[in-house]
Amino acid sequence: MQIINSVKKSVKSALICACLIVTPQISTAAKLDRIIAIVNDEVILESNFIENYKRAIKQVQQQGAKLPEKSVLQNQVIEQMITRTIMLKMASDQGIKVTDRQLNAAITNIAQENGMSLSRFRNVLNAQGQDYVKTRERIREDMLIRQLQESNISQRIQISDREIKSFLRSQASRGNADVLISDILISIESPMTPKNIKVAKDKAESLYQKLRSGAKFSNIAISESNAANALNGGDMGWRKIAELPTSMVNAISTLSKGQISKPTRTPTGFHIIKLRDTRNGEKQITVAKTKVRHILIAPSEVMTKSQAKRTASQLYQQLLRKREDFEVLAEEHSNDPGSSSQGGDLGWAQSGQMVPEFEQVMNKTPIDQLSLPFESRFGWHILEVLDRKSENVNNLAQENQARNVIGKRKFNEEMDTWMREIRANAYVEFK
């Protein structure tokens, strides 16, 4: 697969319609160029449209999908160009910017993901006939659009404590599987009257029957879907189930790999979803914890290192004779101010919390056993392991994770509505 496809895949999650570009500069043949659409205060030029149309054809061909009728593909291209123009103007009006430093970091990351240096990446693009400057500008626009979406849609999302508690109790919080899905959206025309709803539903049902009869999903998506990923064959990539809109989760819950859902209603239209694959998500995070106490004998101006070592050895022999003296000896002799008053108790310790020397001895000491005296940069220690356990991430981390997952789910649910609104509120005139 050509490297430009990797570029598109790397940036497509950062925008709604990354595959289409509206280039603001007018070519040297500007005097012969004509305006084919006015979008608010911006224009779409015929040369830009032709460039995007040719790119769309290549994209469909690279997917191995069937090219739709010329008029259908042209409509998909112009609509996505209009939406992209709207979003880029909104980003400009809202003062959203991508600095050269941010852009360079993003491009470097894309190059590294392809196993290349930046210079090698540029050479490969040029060898494939891709203009590096235009590719760079496209990535900048992708980043602007993503920032715009995050800024505007996030403001519409509210997450209550009740939702978080409900999520933590639900199966969704325990099941973190990933699904590879494709989607076809049949939008309901405005105004959302019963007649328009029925028209959209009937069309979705008709397409569903075609798919059941063997029609290729990507072909139908390219020619019929109103979703922003239509020209990608409806590909939504890998998604976590917990982050998908509830309607989609319900639609795919009974599907096996390769199966297609019946049309499912959402606020903006009807979706048909294909479950292409599944995989186990990240395992629930657990941490190993050790309940431990210790005595620290630290060298000082009045105690040399050798004296500290000798004192630790003497205390160790005393503890072997009478373990219950641990708390008393810790209070009397330990130089750790944080634990000496607690009889040497350090509570529940976990990986990375202690210095390496201490953690290494702690991990290999059996429960209810003393360690031999050992040295760290703080001095000489004797530790006793009281108990061990494995524990899920703490409640605060779980709540933060739940808030993040719910936020992504609501973001995905709100995206279609937001896109529909900005399109409906824009002034568009075709020439």
| pLDDT the model gives residue 24 | 40
Using DSSP bridges, classify how beta strands 35-39 and 428-430 pair: parallel, antiparallel or unpaired. Answer: antiparallel
Q: Give the closest residue to 268 by CA, choosing from 424, 68, 396, 400.
A: 424
Residues 6+ positions from 301 with CB-CB distance below 8 Å? none
CATH of domain 175-283: 3.10.50.40
**Rounded CA separation 274/276 (Å):** 6
pLDDT (tens digit per residue) in 340-368: 999 999 999 987 789 889 999 999 999 99
| pLDDT the model gives residue 254 | 85
pTM of the model: 0.59
pLDDT (tens digit per residue) in 97-107: 999 989 998 99
Domain ranges within the chain, ordered by starting residue: 3-154, 175-283, 286-392
3-state secondary structure the chain: CCHHHHHHHHHHCCCCCCCCCCCCCCCCCHHHCCEEEEECCEEEEHHHHHHHHHHHHHHHHHCCCCCCCHHHHHHHHHHHHHHHHHHHHHHHHCCCCCCHHHHHHHHHHHHHHCCCCHHHHHHHHHHCCCCHHHHHHHHHHHHHHHHHHHHHHHCCCCCCHHHHHHHHHCHHHCCCCEEEEEEEEEECCCCCCHHHHHHHHHHHHHHHHHHHCCCCHHHHHHHHCCCCCHHHCCEEEEEEHHHCCHHHHHHHCCCCCCCECCCEECCCEEEEEEEEEEECCCCCCEEEEEEEEEEEECCECCECHHHHHHHHHHHHHHHHHCHHHHHHHHHHHCCCCCCHHHCCEEEEEECCCCCHHHHHHHHHCCCCEECCCEEECCEEEEEEEEEEEEEECCHHHHHHHHHHHHHHHHHHHHHHHHHHHHHHCCCEEEC
pLDDT (tens digit per residue) in 305-352: 999 999 999 999 999 999 889 999 999 999 998 899 999 999 999 877
**For residues 357 and 334, is the Cβ–Cβ distance under 8 A?**
no
Give the CA radius of gyration of the chain: 31
How confident is the prediction for the chain on average, in pLDDT?
86
| pLDDT the model gives residue 6 | 40
**Rounded CA separation 46/155 (Å):** 36
Q: 328: number of CA atoms within 13 Å, CB side?
A: 6
| pLDDT the model gives residue 161 | 87
Q: Which residue has the tokens 């997952």?
A: 405
pLDDT (tens digit per residue) in 17-46: 333 333 344 344 445 689 999 999 999 999
The packing angle between helices 118-127 and 100-113, to 10°, is 80
Proportion of the chain above pLDDT 70, given as a percent? 88
Backbone angles phi, psi at 365, to 5 degrees: -85, 125
Domain 3-154 and domain 175-283, same fold? Reply is: no
**For residues 411 and 153, is the Cβ–Cβ distance under 8 A?**
yes
Tokens of 35: 């305006």
Whole-number Cα distances in Å, 53 to 19, 47, 113, 242, 407: 11, 10, 28, 36, 35
Residues present in the chain in total? 431
Q: 119: number of CA atoms within 13 Å, CB side?
A: 0
**For residues 86 and 40, is the Cβ–Cβ distance under 8 A?**
yes
**For residues 281 and 177, is the Cβ–Cβ distance under 8 A?**
yes
Return the minimum-mean-pLDDT range out of 114-118, 261-265, 286-290, 352-356: 286-290
Q: Which residues pair with 383 in a beta bridge?
A: 294
**Rounded CA separation 92/73 (Å):** 29
pLDDT at 13 over 70: no
| pLDDT the model gives residue 12 | 37
| pLDDT band at residue 5 under the 50/70/90 scheme | very low
pLDDT (tens digit per residue) in 241-283: 888 888 888 898 889 999 999 999 998 899 999 999 998 765 5
CATH superfamily of 3-154: Porin chaperone SurA, peptide-binding domain (1.10.4030.10)
CATH of domain 286-392: 3.10.50.40
> How many CB atoms lie under 10 A from the CB of residue 157?
14
| pLDDT the model gives residue 288 | 84
| pLDDT the model gives residue 25 | 42
Q: Which residues pair with 288 in a beta bridge?
A: 390
pLDDT at 93 over 90: yes
**For residues 120 and 110, is the Cβ–Cβ distance under 8 A?**
no
Q: Give the closest residue to 16 by CA, choosing from 427, 426, 428, 419.
A: 419
pLDDT (tens digit per residue) in 192-219: 899 999 999 999 999 999 999 999 999 9
pLDDT at 126 over 90: no
